Structure formats: structure tokens, C-alpha cells
Amino acid sequence: MKKIDKYQGKKVLVMGFGISGINAAHLLVKLGADVTANDKATPKDNKVIEDLEADGIKVITGDNPLSLANEGFDIVVKNPGIPYDNSLVAEFVKKGTPIITEAELGWQIFDGHLVSVTGSNGKTTTTTLTQLMIAENAKHQVKYAGNIGISFSKVAESLGPDDTLVTELSSFQLLGAPTIHPHIAIITNIFSNHLDYHKTRENYINAKLNITRNQTKDDFLVINWDRDEWQKIAQRSQATIVPFSRLNKSHDGSYVENGIIYWRGEKVMATKDIRLIGPQNVENALAAIAAAKLSGVTNEAIEKVLTTFSGVRHRLQYVLEYQDRLFYNDSKSTDIEATEVALQGFDRPVILLAGGLDRGYTFERLVPYFKKHVKAIIVFGECKDKMKEAAEQAGIPSIVESENAITAVPEAWKLSEPGDVILLSPANASWDQFPSFEVRGDKFIEAVEKLTGKKER
């Protein structure tokens, strides 16, 4: 951990009691700040408040009182999920009070080697693969943190100058991380996500580009080269560009040619030997390989990781096999693009479980994927009628409505035959019925285990 004094004697407001917010509040006390912690909700666990207060932190819950904007805070550390049009945040914006996220705080105290990953899809898998690959050859600590569910600043506290930290960073986190400077940055892809938060696609792209904003030619930006738009986005970086391409559009980084993965002309391994399924996971592997090779990792270490790693929970996660049916949990597929790539990963007939929060869009884009891959579909949630319309356009013979992702499991089993895949890939957020995609995925797995009498693998 780097010793810094910029918070000594400063008055800091921490907004949000998530894992990152709580860790940030305690860290700021160690850094000499006068800390107030605020959350609109009141935690069910009183120990959270007790621990904060025991550290000398003033705690305010149940509201974001506008009066806090007049208490002379020098800086605000905001939960990434709190939008900038939140009434209290908007007041701080008007006053010109600096607003950062916990990722920025983590960067400020970190003095090791930073690798950071962002993108619309594939962030967590790429982050995990990159950490595993670098750790295979490392003589020092290699950890991951960030949007992957582990506090950036908490892990940064425990690492030294020779250690490596691989961080997953969302657009929300990056928007409040003005000085973050990874040596290796990865952009897996950029689609049109979170426009309810960012308002425009350009704002969303600009937030993503904060990952490379402070890089120089001595740093590296690993970026997907398979769309012209992403190639143009790369031109906005000052870093040395390292492309990765599943479609063999560049040989300057990692790429696939005739089913073989290469790194700048050097054979690494065959794509068929990657344990994770689907074209999206080939892309995730290519991104991780590029970062690993830039970090001095051997081909043997890379191949060991890619032939043994079976996936991140809720991200096209293999659950179990029962009576020659394969169950997959892809609850993290909260947008259309993610479900498109998930369906492309299967040669077997798919019984798809899909639906969720109605964000106002329809699903015509899924029609060709439905035609090619889906033999039956179970629809649920607020947008089930729209999903049903797309399924009807595709001519799917079996379309069943169900209450949710849990009740859909036995319905899917009734429609299945040996050789089928039963896939939860909702193409929608979970918030109409579940507090998070993680809870939705966990409940789906529980329903599969109940149905089959087996435990997830």
C-alpha cells in the first residue's frame, strides 16, 4: 500500500454501504480523514453501523438528506451505482465538489502493477482468466478485485510494489476514476449498455475510455479488433495498441487462424481445447492471452488455464448433466448481445429460459438465433409478451409462459429430450423479480438441483 496524505484532515462523505463503500470509509479513516457515511437505506445488519461508528465514522441512514451538501465536504466517494442525477449528488456537482468512486481511491493507494479490464460483456471472465494466467508464472502475489465483487481498495491495501492486481472496472466505476492509470488496459467490446444511466452511447463510450485516458505509449491497450467502430475507438488512446481478433483481422496481437490461437505469429493452442464454450469465450481468452503475454507468461501456463478453467458463476456456467440434458446458468446475460453470443456457443438443441425487466425494447434481433438454435422457449417476467412475439416470429414450435426463472425449470424439463441443453440466458435484467442477476442464477441452480437430485458441478 502506498502512503498518501491527500486525505489527512479532509472532510469526506462516503455515499453507499456496499462492500466497496464500507471498505472505503474505514480506509479513509486510516488515511486521516474525517468521514461521514450515508446510505438511503438502513442496513438490516446493525453490525455494519456499529463497526463504522466504532471507527469514529458518523453514520446517516434512511435518506440522502440535501443538507449534507452544505456541510463543507472536501470530497465525495460515491457508490458507482448511484446516478449523477441523484438529488444529493447533483447538489455536489453544482458546487464543484470532487466526486470519485472507490476504484479511484484504490488506485491512489496502490503501488504495484495494475491490469484493468472493462467492456460491455466478458469483463469478469477475462479478468479471472488474466489473473489465473499471470499467477501461473508469477513470483509475487497476483490478485483480482473491482466489479468482480471484491473491493479494489481493500485488496490494494494488502499488496506491495512487486505485486500485480487485475481489476474489473465498470463504466460506473470509471466515470469516477479520473486518475486511474493501468499499465495494461483491456476493452473486451462496447455495445449499448446502461443508457438509462449514461443517457447517450457517446457518454457510455467516454466512461469506458477512462480506462486508457491516462495511459502513455509505454502502456498497452488491449482491444477487440473485430468491429470497425472498436478500431476507431482505439485511435483515441495514447497507449500502444495491442489488438485481439477472433475473426483474424489483425496479426499484431492475439488472433485465431484456422482454429489455432496465435500470439504475433507464434502458435499458442487450438481453440477447440478451450474448456469454456462459445465464441465469446474465445474472445475473452484472446484478450487474456494478450495481457498475459505482455506480462511474460509462457504458452504452457496459458494452455493450462484455458484447458482447465470451467467458467465464472452466472456467466454461461455449466451447472450439471442429468439424463443427457446439459444445464447452463447464464443469468449474467442481461442484454440481447449476451444472449446472442450464448446461443452461438451450442451445437445441441437449446431450450431457452428468457425474460425479465421490461426496458422498453423488443427482441427481433434474437429471431435468427432462435431459428438456428432454439427448439423451445420458456418466457417470464415483465417482458415475456415481447419475448414471446420474437419466438413466434422465429417459428419456435414450443412457447411456454411461466412465472419466473425458478418455475421455468420443470417446464423446460417437460419439453426436453436427451441431447438437449437447458439454458437460462434471460437477455434482460433481473430487477422485476430478483434483486440481482446473481440471486436469479442461484435460484435457477437450486431449482435444477431440486429437479435432478444432483448438486451443481
Residues annotated within a binding site: 119-125
Cα gap 375→343, rounded to integer Å: 12
Cα gap 310→295, rounded to integer Å: 23
Neighbours of 212 (CB within 10 A): 27
Cα gap 60→66, rounded to integer Å: 12
Please report where in the chains the cell 470451467 appears, as a residue.
310
- Residue 168's SS3 state is strand
323: left (phi over 0), alpha (psi -120 to 50) or beta: left
- Residue 266's SS3 state is strand
Residues tagged in the binding site annotation for ATP:
119-125
Cell of 406: 425458478
Q: What are the φ/ψ torsions at residue 336 (nearest 5 degrees)?
A: -65, -45
- Residue 79's SS3 state is coil
Distances, alpha carbon 107 to alpha carbons 53, 113, 118, 169, in Å: 26, 11, 15, 12
Order of strands across the sheet that contains 350-355: 317-322, 325-329, 421-424, 350-355, 374-380, 398-401
Cα gap 119→362, rounded to integer Å: 23
Order of strands across the sheet that contains 34-39: 58-61, 34-39, 11-15, 75-78, 99-100
